[in-house]
Amino acid sequence: MTDCLFCRIVAQEIPSRKVYEDDSTYAFEDLDPQAPTHVLVVPKKHLPGLKEATSGDAEMVGRCHLAAAEIARQRGIENGYRTVLNVGPGAGQSVFHLHVHLIGGRQLHWPPG
């Protein structure tokens, strides 16, 4: 999708601070980090968000979470991190390409707010 910010980042048309890549996912540092580790993990295939996902997208969504777990291991934050999917504008989603926020490296409180 040519007008999608994250598709353009995956295609390397827009620079990012890449931290991980495999056949189906791409991960990069968030530009407005909310914790010492704040990485966005996106599928390479465009999907606007979780509410648009179908059962055929289950593997893609799962792979994003598995990539987040691998990055957490690499960064040594396995004792506590959060994966977050913001779904829709009311939840704070501002880029409509599914993405998992990996947040960690500090004490995380509940409820998140």
Tens of pLDDT, residues 32-57:
999 999 999 999 999 999 999 999 99
Over residues 17-40, mean pLDDT: 97
The number of helices, as runs of H, and strands, as runs of E, in the chain is: 2, 5
Would you state the structure tokens that stand for residue 24, as one six-digit string?
């189906």
The pLDDT value recorded for residue 32 is 95
The burial of 54, by beta-carbon neighbours within 10 Å (0-12 exposed, 13-18 middle, 19 or more buried), is given as exposed
Q: Which residue has the tokens 């966005």?
A: 40
Average pLDDT, the chain: 96
* From 46, 65, 97, 99, active-site residue: 99
The pLDDT value recorded for residue 36 is 97
Q: Is the pLDDT of residue 58 over 80?
A: yes
Quickly list H helices, 1-113.
5-10, 58-75
Q: Does the active-site annotation cover 38?
A: no
Q: Which residue has the tokens 């959060």?
A: 82
